[in-house]
Amino acid sequence: MSDIDQLSTEDEAFLRPYLPDDDAISKKERPFVTLTYACSLDGMISLSPGVRTTLSGPETKSMTHYLRAHHEAILVGVGTAIADDPSLNCRYSRSSSCPPQGLRPVVLDPTMRWDVAGSKATALASEGKGKAPWVVHATSVLDQNPEVAEQAKRLFVGTDGLCDEHSGDRTASISRLEWRSILKALYQKGIRSIMIEGGATVINDLLLQPELVDSVVVTIAPTWLGEGGVTVTPAQQTRDGVRVNAARLKETSWRQFGQDAVLCGRLE
Ligand SMILES: NC(=O)c1ccc[n+]([C@@H]2O[C@H](COP(=O)([O-])OP(=O)(O)OC[C@H]3O[C@@H](n4cnc5c(N)ncnc54)[C@H](O)[C@@H]3O)[C@@H](O)[C@H]2O)c1
Ligand SMILES: Nc1nc(=O)c(N)c(NC[C@H](O)[C@H](O)[C@H](O)COP(=O)(O)O)[nH]1
């Protein structure tokens, strides 16, 4: 039995303006990007680095799966893949909402830290409850691990999108890929919409790149996690030597889901 309930028509109407939109996708050489996460009232997403922390209540969990149902892929950083061992599938029950081929899990793991074979996402895929994950690596890992090119479901990203492992682009940094290039690579693989669920490193980076993010959906749980947690706080920004806001949302809407608040918007 699924742990995910259906949303009301009012909930669906609230989210609709922020869902992937075919017109927006056709104008860009990248997927529609929805950045989404759950945080506490002190802006934290987990109790400490590497600790899975449930913030969403049942209603916002259902909302997250409803959003997954409207995207072709879901991406997390390797820190989240290791800490949470997430399912990364779509368990929203209204089958007509789900993309016909299901949701593609993508893990950003430039230096190959994730145990793909031992992951829950891979196990679910083998049971037919999700698609097999794709793992994004920096092209340069091939220099250190030439044998990985033989393994399936690995995408190599260089400085300008997808890289053929034999093409020789080794110029991308091993630990810091450009988001434009990652998104272009996924688009080249046919992904037209992607939900990016964290963790902190990924969210903090993308909040500073409004040109690459189409919608932001934040669940705010009515709790404070306390000092020492993992915060969403993008790097400090200055203009002409003066501190300015790091990021800000426009076109915002709020709605209550159970005990949580959900804030949607677009980055300015
Ligand atoms: N509450 C939530 O919504 C939520 C969501 C996701 C994760 N989390 C929590 O966040 C924590 C994990 O956060 P984190 O910051 O440690 O990990 P993360 O998931 O952001 O992964 C970070 C890693 O991803 C890779 N990466 C990120 N950006 C990259 C780039 N531009 N190029 C190449 N590689 C890149 C790097 O290897 C980096 O070390 C965990 O505790 C997890 O439970 C909470
Ligand atoms: N929306 C949300 N609320 C939370 O309280 C929480 N901890 C996460 N964390 C996001 C991260 O990607 C998790 O790993 C997935 O939420 C795991 O969910 P699944 O196992 O895939 O259903 N996300």
Euclidean distance between CA atoms 23 and 35, whole angstroms: 19
- C-alpha distances (whole Å) from 215 to each of 6, 8, 36 are 22, 21, 8
**pLDDT for 185 beyond 80:** yes
- Of the CA atoms within 13 Å of residue 84, those in its CB half-sphere come to 21
CA distances (Å), origin 187, targets 43, 190, 233: 31, 5, 28
Take atom 13 of ligand 2 and give the residue whose Cα is closest. Answer: 86
Ligand 2 atom at shortest distance from the alpha carbon of 221? 5
Average pLDDT, the chain: 90
Q: Which two tokens stand for residue 72?
A: 């072709």
The preferred substitution site among 108, 114, 135, 220 for testing ligand 1, maximizing ligand atoms within 8 Å of CB, is 108
Which atom belonging to ligand 1 lies closest to the Cα atom of 219? 3
Return the pLDDT at 25: 80
pLDDT exceeds 90 at position 259: yes
For atom 7 of ligand 2, which residue has the closest CA? 54
Q: What is the pLDDT of residues 147-161, one digit of tens each?
A: 664 454 788 887 788
Residue range 229-255: mean pLDDT, rounded? 97
Pocket of ligand 2, candidates 15, 56, 106: which has the most ligand atoms within 8 Å of its Cβ, to mutate? 56
Q: What pLDDT, on a 0 to 100 scale, did the predictor assign at position 152?
A: 44
Task: Please report the atom of ligand 2 found closest to the CA of residue 65.
Answer: 22
Other Cβ atoms within 10 Å of 40 Cβ, number: 21
pLDDT average, residue stretch 163-177:
62
Ligand 2 neighbours, Cβ below 6 Å, are 38, 53-56, 64, 76, 80, 84, 86-88, 197-198, 219
What is the CB < 6 Å shell around ligand 1? 37-38, 45-46, 49-53, 55, 76-80, 83-84, 108, 110, 175-177, 179, 197-202, 205, 230
pTM of structure:
0.94
Rounding to the nearest 10 degrees, give the CA dihedral for residues 193, 197, 200, 201.
-30
The answer on pLDDT for 223 being more than 60 is yes
HSE, CB side, 13 Å, CA atoms: give it for residue 212: 18
Number of other residues whose CB lies within 10 A of the CB of residue 228: 10
Please name which ligand lies nearest the alpha carbon of 40. 1
Q: How large is the ipTM?
A: 0.98
C-alpha–C-alpha distance, residues 42 and 220, integer Å: 10
**Residue 144: band (very low, low, confident or very high) from pLDDT cuts 50, 70, 90:** low
Dihedrals phi, psi of 162, to nearest 5 degrees: -65, 145
Characterize the bridge pairing of strands 249-257 and 193-196. Answer: unpaired
Q: Whose CA is nearest to atom 44 of ligand 1?
A: 45
What is the dihedral sign for C-alpha 189, 193, 197, 203?
positive
Residues 218 and 39: beta-carbon distance below 8 Å: yes
